[in-house]
Amino acid sequence: MGAQEPFVSPGAAGRTPLRPDDGRLQRGRRSRARIREAARALFRERGFDATTLRAIAQRAGMGASSLYRHIRTKEELLVDELQELQEQAWHQFRRRRVSRGGPETASERLRRFLDAEHQLLARDPDLTTIALRATTHPEARVAGQVLALQDRTVGLLAEIMLQGRSRGELRRGVDVLAAARTIAHTTNGARIAWANGQLDGEACRRAIDTAVDVLFQGIGAPPG
Amino acid sequence: MGAQEPFVSPGAAGRTPLRPDDGRLQRGRRSRARIREAARALFRERGFDATTLRAIAQRAGMGASSLYRHIRTKEELLVDELQELQEQAWHQFRRRRVSRGGPETASERLRRFLDAEHQLLARDPDLTTIALRATTHPEARVAGQVLALQDRTVGLLAEIMLQGRSRGELRRGVDVLAAARTIAHTTNGARIAWANGQLDGEACRRAIDTAVDVLFQGIGAPPG
DNA sequence: CCATCTAGGGGAACAGCCTCGCAAATCGGG
DNA sequence: CCCGATTTGCGAGGCTGTTCCCCTAGATGG
């Protein structure tokens, strides 16, 4: 994991920079910041699809083609934001550890994380929408980035469940990874329905909740 | 349901045709057939994204802009194909009713349907990929078409489970709709992973299988 | 202070999907 | 067999994300 170019200057989108970015290349860094800022604002104002690269470039004070010194793809701009939000969700989740009373059950922790995630992602449908769209362009570079993000979410969910399993809250021998994936996929699905206006924000949250419920209880009749 | 313009001539992409297509407009029908055929062949040869509208038009023997008398969107062409395949899967599933021995359990029927679906969809990643991509364009008309298709799948899954529930194979009071949605979303997710090369076809099938297993058994420890 | 090197900016242009307005083909009815 | 209406086809063109290649500013090393 984590082998995703830590700080090796995103500039010159294609070639490997000969020198590492040791802090002397300030102009580029400022440009990158302006681009991100402009993109973020415009996405929020008009939405992703209605925002043209030329508009972003203009607000960032440069020509459209110059953007490509700093980004690889339009989608990358939004995925970066998504990534930040995800980290925020994780951070927020880990910080609020034992808020009150006794230790949480795995199911409670799961819910708490999913709620945090929902709250952040429900700000803008584009965040889900465009990310998923990226995964439908398998040859594109962003696809990998988004999938890595999802994998990380799956990992966290699995971790939560593993803890629960070792405490005997979960059925023995349960395939936690499969369960984690199921949860992740279901949240994606619910959010797509939400983005398409089939669900409002609250209904989406509830759908996710219900899905976790169903998954915990199982749908099969008890063996007895 | 079913209010999706049954046969009202898809022509003139914008306006409602004054007369229904009563079988007298043969030229258009032939053109439509040629377009579909050309598109299908080219998608199979080069893949969806590598197939240009101009190429389709050329093979269909017309100019690119003329396509738009018959289709609304490039994606629509592929979604049409997907729709046919889905109907095929449903048909095939219903036909092979009681193949052998005693009555199938709900879980067996579920698996049988999912296998049939997988076999058809595993022919071409584009079928899943592009359909899902369409749902990330909420303002586009195809999005609705794809979502309707998914809803129908969910309906079928729910129906299967309802039967099982009334026979006591399922836990009482289970939310079959939520369970059906979970299954549908999970299959989508697995196929995306497959399309991105994270899973091969067989692993994808197994992932779906496992997910159904986990959902049936539940991950929570039995109350006892 | 100079030669050099490169990150970063810019304009032009490309291919993609799709829209527009107009001309031709085709239709049903008289 | 001809007329008015409707469908179908076409070329031009718009807007998009993205690439290409050239040019400059400013840092680097001597």
Determine the pLDDT at residue A168: 94
Residue A9 has pLDDT above 80, yes or no: no
Residue B22 sits at φ, ψ, to 5 deg, of -95, 10
Distance B14 CA to D12 C1' (A): 21
CA distance B51 to B56: 7
| pLDDT tens, residue by residue, A68-101 | 999 999 999 999 999 999 999 999 998 876 656 6
Determine the pLDDT at residue B101: 64
Q: Which of A111, A136, A181, A188 to mutate to test the interface with B (most CBs of B within 10 A)?
A: A136
A26-30, A159-163, B66-70: the lowest-pLDDT one: A26-30
Using a 10 angstrom Cβ sphere, with 0-12 exposed, 13-18 middle and 19 or more buried, the burial of residue B160 is buried
Amino acid at B35: I
Residue A23 has pLDDT above 60, yes or no: no
Determine the pLDDT at residue A224: 64
Residue A178 sits at φ, ψ, to 5 deg, of -60, -40
User: Who's near A88: CB < 8 A, 6+ residues apart?
Assistant: A120
pTM: 0.88
Question: How many CA atoms does the CB half-sphere of A182 hold within 13 Å?
Answer: 35
Using a 10 angstrom Cβ sphere, with 0-12 exposed, 13-18 middle and 19 or more buried, the burial of residue B98 is exposed
Contact B214 A179 (CB under 8 A): yes
Q: Report the SS3 class of residue A10.
A: coil
Output the DSSP codes for A18-47. SS---S--HHHHHHHHHHHHHHHHHHHHH-
CA distance B109 to B133: 29
Q: How confident is the model at residue B98 (pLDDT cuts 50, 70, 90)?
A: low
Determine the pLDDT at residue B38: 96
CA distance B107 to B51: 40
Determine the pLDDT at residue B6: 32
Residue A173 sits at φ, ψ, to 5 deg, of 70, 15
* Residues by Cβ under 7 A, strand C: A 9, 11-12, 15, 17-19, 25, 27-29, 31, 57, 61-66, 69-70; B 13, 24-27, 51-54, 64-65, 68, 72-75
Q: Which of B169, B195, B214 sits opposite A138 (nearest CB)?
A: B195
Determine the pLDDT at residue A15: 44
Tell me which residue of A146, A160, A78 sits closest to A114, measured CA to CA: A160
Tell me which residue of A182, A57, A95, A90 sits closest to B219, measured CA to CA: A182
Domains of chain A and CATH, by start: 26-69 (1.10.10.60), 74-217 (1.10.357.10)
State mean pLDDT over B147-157. 97
Q: How confident is the model at residue A103 (pLDDT cuts 50, 70, 90)?
A: confident
CA distance A95 to A99: 9
Q: How confident is the model at residue B16 (pLDDT cuts 50, 70, 90)?
A: very low
Residue B156 has pLDDT above 90, yes or no: yes
Q: How confident is the model at residue B18 (pLDDT cuts 50, 70, 90)?
A: very low
Residue % of chain A over a pLDDT of 70: 86
Q: How confident is the model at residue B61 (pLDDT cuts 50, 70, 90)?
A: very high
State mean pLDDT over B182-208. 98
State mean pLDDT over B184-203. 98
B50-81 b/e (C-beta count within 10 Å ≥ 16 → b):
ebeeebbbebbebeeeebeebbbbbbbbbbbb
Three-class DSSP labels, chain B: CCCCCCCCCCCCCCCCCCCCCCCCCHHHHHHHHHHHHHHHHHHHHHCCCCCCHHHHHHHHCCCHHHHHHCCCCHHHHHHHHHHHHHHHHHHHHHHCCCCCCCCCCHHHHHHHHHHHHHHHHCCCHHHHHHHHHHCCCCCCHHHHHHHHHHHHHHHHHHHHHHHHHHCCCECCCCCHHHHHHHHHHHHHHHHHHHHCCCCCHHHHHHHHHHHHHHHHHCCECCCC
Alpha carbon A38 to its chain's center: 21
CB pairs under 8 A between A and B: 162
Determine the pLDDT at residue B21: 53
Determine the pLDDT at residue B26: 78
What mean pLDDT is reported for chain B? Answer: 88
Q: Report the SS3 class of residue A17.
A: coil
Residue B192 has pLDDT above 50, yes or no: yes
A25-39, A71-85, A165-179, B129-143: the lowest-pLDDT one: A25-39
If one counts every other C-beta atom within 10 angstroms of the C-beta of residue B182, the result is 29
